[in-house]
Amino acid sequence: MGNVLAVAPPSGSWWMRRKRAALPNPGSFDELHKSCKEVFPQQMEGMKLIINKNLSSHFQVSHQVHMSTIGLSGYHFNGKYMGDPQPGTNETFPLLTGDMDNAGSLNAQAAFLLAERVRSKAVFQTHHSKFLTWQVDVEYRGEDCTGTLTLGNPDIINESVILVTHFLQSITPRLVLGGELVYHQRMGEEGAILTLAGKYSGMILHGGAANT
């Protein structure tokens, strides 16, 4: 009988290096540029007063008053309910938040953990007490990838809908690549837009010491 040899990929191949390195989850697409945005300070004109109050370990409210001579002045009330921390996610679910201003505009969100790696979020917005938009998404977070499907403003009568899908893949511990595909249909017209995205995280310096 002949010898049967198993062909294995070279030990130095990209696939073997990728298997040996525990790649992190890239997170959600909405937070892709969060680290860069936090570098820039938030600009404000006028005076702002914020009062935060913890009513319990799960519920907190805040009041915000903004007075300006150039921009719009107003009042915002924010309420947040946080569930119990979920093992392995470092997050709390369910998470319910609502923000309303003095003009009647509402921005409400609800996030739920459906399974160990599957979460869902619903967003509802009004402007001056009139309906503006609502959407719901389902997100899957794998070991080193994240996929999201979002359904926005579905209207069966007018045959309009917006579908958005995101995908991110960790290529190396510092490099993340992915993209976004948006499909919309409204009043007999339809179209799609494809966007590519990526993130590279360098080294963080603390007191002269380099950390990854």
Q: Which of 30, 15, 13 is nearest to 178 (CA)?
A: 30
**How far is it, in rounded angstroms, from Cα 115 to Cα 110?**
16
135: Cα separation from own chain's centroid:
13
33: Cα separation from own chain's centroid:
10
Q: String of b and e for 68-79 (b: at least 16 CB within 10 Å)?
A: eeeeeeeebebe
pLDDT of residue 14: 54
CA atoms within 13 A on the CB side of 122: 6
Distances in whole angstroms, Cα of residue 189 to Cα of each of 41, 42, 66, 149, 182: 41, 39, 41, 21, 14
pLDDT of residue 208: 43
pLDDT of residue 160: 87
Q: Which of 178, 182, 179 is nearest to 152 (CA)?
A: 182
pLDDT of residue 119: 94
Torsion sign, CA atoms 45, 46, 47, 53: negative
**How far is it, in rounded angstroms, from Cα 133 to Cα 152?**
8
pLDDT of residue 22: 80
CATH classification for the domain delimited by 24-84+91-211, as one of 3.30.365.10, 2.60.40.1220, 3.30.2350.10, 2.40.160.10: 2.40.160.10
pLDDT of residue 132: 86
Per residue of the chain (212 residues), what is the pLDDT tens digit? 445 444 555 555 555 555 545 899 998 988 887 777 777 777 777 888 999 999 999 999 999 999 988 878 899 999 999 998 887 677 899 999 999 999 889 999 999 999 989 999 999 999 887 888 899 999 999 999 999 999 998 887 777 889 999 999 999 999 999 999 999 988 778 899 999 999 998 765 554 444 44
- DSSP code at position 14: H
Q: Domain ranges in the chain?
A: 24-84+91-211
**How far is it, in rounded angstroms, from Cα 212 to Cα 204?**
6
- Give yes or no for a contact between 152 and 170, defined as CB atoms under 8 angstroms apart: no
pLDDT of residue 190: 87
Kindly report the number of other CB atoms within 10 A of residue 178's CB atom. 21
pLDDT of residue 158: 77
This prediction has a pTM of 0.76
Listed in sequence order, the residues at least 6 apart from 97 whose beta carbon sits closer than 8 Å to its beta carbon are 78, 79, 80, 81, 108, 109, 110
Q: Which of 44, 102, 103 is nearest to 75 (CA)?
A: 102
Structure tokens at 29: 């697409």
